[in-house]
Amino acid sequence: MTQGPSAEPGLLAKLLTLIAAVILLVLGFMFSVVLVAIIAVAGLVAGGYFWWKTRKLRQAVRQHPPGGRVIDGEVIVVDDFSDQDGNTRPRGRSGDLPPA
């Protein structure tokens, strides 16, 4: 008896396919765990490097707090200008008033 191309795969083919699928799933899981571990270690190394490089800055801020030397202020941006007649005109790109 000959089997054609549309014949069902045999028991051995199904078993080999199942074994191959399980092996691929296990390998994929193993590589994903290794990748997550590498990313976590890289993040810890980057954080440690940043912490180490900023230690003198943190120490300087603790020893010499800014005190009263901080200049604080507010900025008000005016997009339109009202002239003496009450007409509202937009400002130019450089902040200058456009000609009347």
Q: How high is the pLDDT of residue 71?
A: 66
Q: Are 58 and 51 in contact (CB under 8 A)?
A: no
What confidence score (pLDDT) does residue 61 get? 82
Whose tokens are 């005016």? That residue is: 78
By the 8 A CB rule, do 83 and 89 touch? yes
Q: Which of 82, 85, 77, 86 is nearest to 97 (CA)?
A: 82
* Res. 93: pLDDT tops 70: no
- The domain ranges of the chain are 11-66
User: In this predicted structure, what is the pLDDT of residue 73?
Assistant: 78
Residue 59 has pLDDT above 80, yes or no: yes
- The pLDDT score that the predictor gives to residue 76 is 78
pLDDT tens figures, 8-52: 889 999 999 999 999 999 999 999 999 999 999 999 999 999 999
User: Which residue's entry shows tokens 């009347």?
Assistant: 100
